[in-house]
Amino acid sequence: MAENLSAPMNDDNLIDTQSLLFGFLAEYAQQNRFSVTLNRLFKDKGDNAMCIPMNIRPDDIYFTIAGLKEAKLNGVALGSEYVEGVLEQLEHQSPEVQACGFCDTIRIEKGELYGEVASGRAICAVLKEQGVEKLAILGSGKLAKSVLMHIQESGVKELVLLNDRIESCMSLMQAHTKELEGIEVDIDRAVENEEIDLSAFDGFINASPSAPKLCKINKGSVLIDLKRESNLVDYAAVYSANFIDNEQYAKVLAKVNYDIWTKGK
């Protein structure tokens, strides 16, 4: 029997006055596994907590975020389509939010919104879980910054930054010198629409808006592309690789959000 991915609550479907309530805000939140995965985690931990998927249209996201200050929610996670448009509504931004320029999870305390980033931590947890030691990252923007801020937690020993703008990669390296200590780092030029040879790596992250053409990929290499999880035809080599899809990533992301939301509670 197919699993009901729209189920908003845990198995007991019970909320009381002591329950911690969280939301997942996305245009198609009920089609995403995040809430179901997080509710399983709450249940396994024995927490009186629940995450509710909330379908929010782009026209309504501003007013929804503003209304969180009066809502009975303790925090929300944001779909990728909304992570850059909420910064001006936050009373508090973590150093990572300020550095990366986006926010994908919010804690709500005493009517104030605390913005944080879960993506980099979650991706590095996947890399650690999969045993990746030689990693290539395409792109040097916001997501790449978040990953580098937690790269020491990943177990990666060698890192290559791929971009058509070498200067951008150099700036990224210089901004994260401390985080990259002990990791062998290099830069290589990657031109849009040209194939990328990944035979020297056991992990690859697409942190670029474009979809690269991959060639010479090792069987079982880990591929992470959060923008392309539903369109595998972009990667001719994906069928021989370990492609981290939305279901696998949701499990790790839920754990990171759990740690952010329940810290100190």
CATH architecture of 20-117: 3-Layer(aba) Sandwich (3.40)
Q: In whole angstroms, how far apart are CA 261 and each of 19, 49, 154?
A: 13, 11, 22
Write down the pLDDT at residue 63. Answer: 96
Q: In whole angstroms, how far apart are CA 51 and each of 22, 74, 89, 159, 179?
A: 5, 10, 22, 36, 33
More confident residue, 6 or 179: 179
Q: What's the whole-model pTM score?
A: 0.88
Instruction: Name 214's Cβ contacts closer than 8 Å, sequence gap at least 6.
Output: 195, 196, 198, 204, 223, 235, 236, 237, 238
Percent of the chain with pLDDT over 70: 88
Which residues share a beta bridge with 187?
A: 161
More confident residue, 174 or 196: 174
Residue 235: DSSP 8-state: -
pLDDT digits (tens, 9 = 90+) for 219-265: 889 988 876 544 444 555 555 678 887 788 889 999 999 999 987 55
**Dihedral sign (CA 206, 218, 185, 150):** positive
Q: What is the pLDDT of the chain when averaged over all its residues?
A: 87
pLDDT digits (tens, 9 = 90+) for 140-162: 999 999 999 999 999 999 999 99
pLDDT surpasses 60 at 163: yes
More confident residue, 245 or 34: 34
Going by their DSSP bridges, the two strands 105-109 and 92-93 should be labelled as unpaired
Q: How far is Cα 162 from Cα 206, in angstroms, rounded to an integer?
A: 10
Q: How far is Cα 216 from Cα 44, in angstroms, rounded to an integer?
A: 41
Residue type, 261: W
Same fold flag, 20-117 and 120-245: yes
**20-33 mean pLDDT:** 92
Domain 120-245 has CATH 3.90.550.10: no
Write down the pLDDT at residue 135. Answer: 97
pLDDT digits (tens, 9 = 90+) for 60-84: 999 999 999 998 899 999 998 999 9
Structure tokens at 186: 């290099």
Percent of the chain with pLDDT over 90: 65
Q: Are 238 and 218 in contact (CB under 8 A)?
A: no
Write down the pLDDT at residue 264. Answer: 57
Write down the pLDDT at residue 13. Answer: 60
Write down the pLDDT at residue 237. Answer: 55
Q: Where are the alpha helices (DSSP H) in the chain?
A: 34-45, 61-67, 95-100, 119-130, 142-148, 166-175, 246-262
Ordered by start, the domain boundaries in the chain are 20-117, 120-245
Q: How far is Cα 222 from Cα 54, in angstroms, rounded to an integer?
A: 31
Write down the pLDDT at residue 95. Answer: 96
Q: Among 5-9, 66-70, 109-113, 116-120, which stretch is predicted with the lowest mean pLDDT? A: 5-9
Q: Among 14-23, 80-89, 253-262, which stretch is predicted with the lowest mean pLDDT? A: 14-23
Number of H helices, E strands in the chain: 7, 14
